[in-house]
Structure formats: structure tokens, C-alpha cells
Amino acid sequence: MSTEHTFLAVYLGSMNGSKMAAWRALPEAERKAKEREGMAAWQGWVEKHKAVIVEMGGPLGKTRRIDATGISEVSNALTGFTVVRAASQEEAARLFENHPHFAIFPGEAVEVMPVLPLPQM
């Protein structure tokens, strides 16, 4: 029986938050340089953790909410996701400490949650 579990990491950010406002206020050349720095750091993060990345995931686009009243466009803080394997939620969370999403880019946080097994019927 494996001691590793699967965890969903969700990247959060705000288009209207102070970090994004500061990012947009940067001169274009400086912002482009930070984008290159951020992408290089993100690629380094992926390389360092490739053995535990189950699904690289990626950025998320506009959201549609589907409920009993139909389909509507909504806004939320979800900006991307990655799926990883780790022995514990704490270990999975530590993978994202100082992640480029918020350490370089204007993202606000990463939330990590276990992917639970389906209930047996």
C-alpha cells in the first residue's frame, strides 16, 4: 500500500488586488523582465519537483457556473492548478513555499487540498 497521496494545488489571485495593481504599474520593460524571471523560476520549480508532479495543470480561463437556474459567467480567485503526490498535506504544502506564483508574479496564494478516494458503494 502506497504512503503517497494526491493533492490538488490551486493558484489564487485577484485581477483587482494590490499585487496586480503594482504589477500593472511597472514600466513595461521591467514587467517583461519580471515575467522572464518568473517563468525561469517556475520552470526551475517544475524541474526540482518533477518526480512528484502528477499533472502540471496550467492557467485557468473564464468561469461558467452551472446550477439549477442554468449557466452563468462568474468571477473567482482561481487562476491555475497543479496536481502533486506527497506523503502528507504538510509535505505537499511545503512544495509551494516561496513559489514564483506569489514570490515573483502578482499571484496571492496557493491552496493545497487532498484528492479523496471516491466512497465505496
pLDDT digits 0-9 by tens, 60-111: 999 999 999 999 999 999 999 999 999 999 999 999 999 999 999 999 999 9
pLDDT at 2 over 80: no
- Report yes or no on 104 lying in a domain: yes
Q: Report the distance separating Cα 39 and Cα 16, nearest Å.
A: 22
The residue range of the domain holding 55 is 5-114
Residue 59 burial by Cβ neighbours in a 10 Å radius (0-12, 13-18, 19+): exposed
- Report yes or no on 121 lying in a domain: no
- Report yes or no on 85 lying in a domain: yes
Number of separate domains in the chain: 1
- Report yes or no on 78 lying in a domain: yes
- Report yes or no on 58 lying in a domain: yes
pLDDT at 1 over 70: no
Question: What's the chain's Rg over C-alpha atoms?
Answer: 17
pLDDT digits 0-9 by tens, 8-33: 999 999 988 899 999 999 999 999 99
Model pTM score: 0.91
pLDDT at 47 over 70: yes
- For 55-93, give the DSSP string: EEEEE---EEEEETTEEEEE--SEEEEEEEEESSHHHHH
